[in-house]
Structure 1
Amino acid sequence: MADNDVLLSAAHWGLLDQVPTMVGATWSEVSVLTSLPPRTKKADPKLFKDPAVAAALAPYLARCAPLPDPEVSLIARLQGRQDIDVGEQVLFAAAGNAPEAFVVTGDKRAIRALAAVHAQGLIPELTGRVMCLEQLLWHALSTLGPNELLRRVREYPDRDMATLAILGRTGSKSQAQIEEGLTSYLKDLNQTSPELMARGHGCDGLGRLGAASP
């Protein structure tokens, strides 16, 4: 399952093929929020910098699996959290009815909020099942190499400010330099949500960090 933010970033950066492969899946196994396909069909300018990006995303969305119904008790535990928007709540709760699924989100605020709920023991079913944008970038780096990743992301460098800080607008960067930048962001998530984040899929960065210290 992937949230709109990750999918829009992947579409702008030409990384759509990497979204499912980061967990060894295919697009027919990806689920998305029902709000995204119609807005993609209209090439909503609030979402897309260029109609061509929407046109590139549309056939991928057409192959997606239906989103499972949100698990009622799980969504009840997430409701009222203003730092987890409704779309993220739906994705996280839908994962409750798809126990083998991962949730890939670009919303670090939501991840940190979810980690706080997880630390209270309220959402054990999401342990090890949440992934972030930096993990997608790590996977893309491993499959495309640094030069191609830089070329693609720099087509729309302002899409994500953390990614811009890591990759920059111009100049060369080695794989090691990019990994170092990604790791610096992953360290924070590792500290706030060590049990929540998925490891061993798409990104070696969290595996290298190990479990966070208590």
Structure 2
Amino acid sequence: MAKMSAMLVPDASILEDLNGITQVDPGEAVLIAVTLRDPAGMFITGDKRALRALAQHPLATRLAGRIVLVEQVLELCLNQNGREWLLTCIREHRAIDKAIAMIVGSNCDASLENLSAGLSSYIGEISNLCEPSMIACLITANRKLPS
């Protein structure tokens, strides 16, 4: 029988700090606090509003390189599987995220160049919010993402 790893419990003081940031939802606060509890923890999000607010908080330095953006995952998928595959997967769900909806276009028919440029733009914007960047460095087939 496989051994289950212990569930991490968020640090109460970090959770309290995060709950003081109005742009960070309570569920995200728990996930971020758990991420900070695990030295190897990473957090995947598409909430740029929360990241902009978090970048102004002292906890941002502790999150350096530990956040993966949904746009980074999509860029990896684009590079790995191509434009048609990505647009097919996103088509029915594109309205969930405004940034992604803008990147793929109103008819979900963005060109490869527009997809790449749009994803890179959002990744770059969020990566540059604070120094060191909270955004993880991922390697793609075409380029190294911001570190």
Decide: shared fold, TM above 0.5: yes
* Aligned pairs (5 A) from 1:1-214: 67-118=7-58, 122-168=59-105, 169-171=107-109, 173-174=111-112, 176-194=113-131, 195-200=133-138, 204=143, 206-207=145-146
Letter in 2 for 1:116: Q
| Structure 1 stretches of at least 4 aligned residues deviating more than 3 Å after TM superposition | 201-206
**Structure 1 gap segments, 5+ residues each:** 1-64
Give RMSD over aligned pairs. 2.5
Q: How far is the alpha carbon of 1:202 from its aligned partner?
A: 6.3
Code of the aligned partner of 1:153: I
Q: Percent of aligned pairs with the same residue?
A: 31
Question: TM-score by structure 1 length?
Answer: 0.58
Deviation at 1:164, TM superposition (A): 1.4
Unaligned runs of 5+ in 2: none
**Displacement of 1:190 after TM fit?**
2.2
Query: Is the contact made by 1:83 and 1:113 (CA closer than 8 Å) also made in structure 2?
Result: yes
Does the 8 Å contact 1:105/1:130 carry over to 2?
yes
Relative distance call for 1:148 and 1:78 in structure 2 (3 A) is: same
Distance in 2, matches of 1:129 and 1:173, equals 30
Shift of 1:67: 4.9
Q: Which amino acid aligns with 2:82?
A: G
Letter in 2 for 1:85: D
Q: Per-residue deviation at 1:205?
A: 6.3
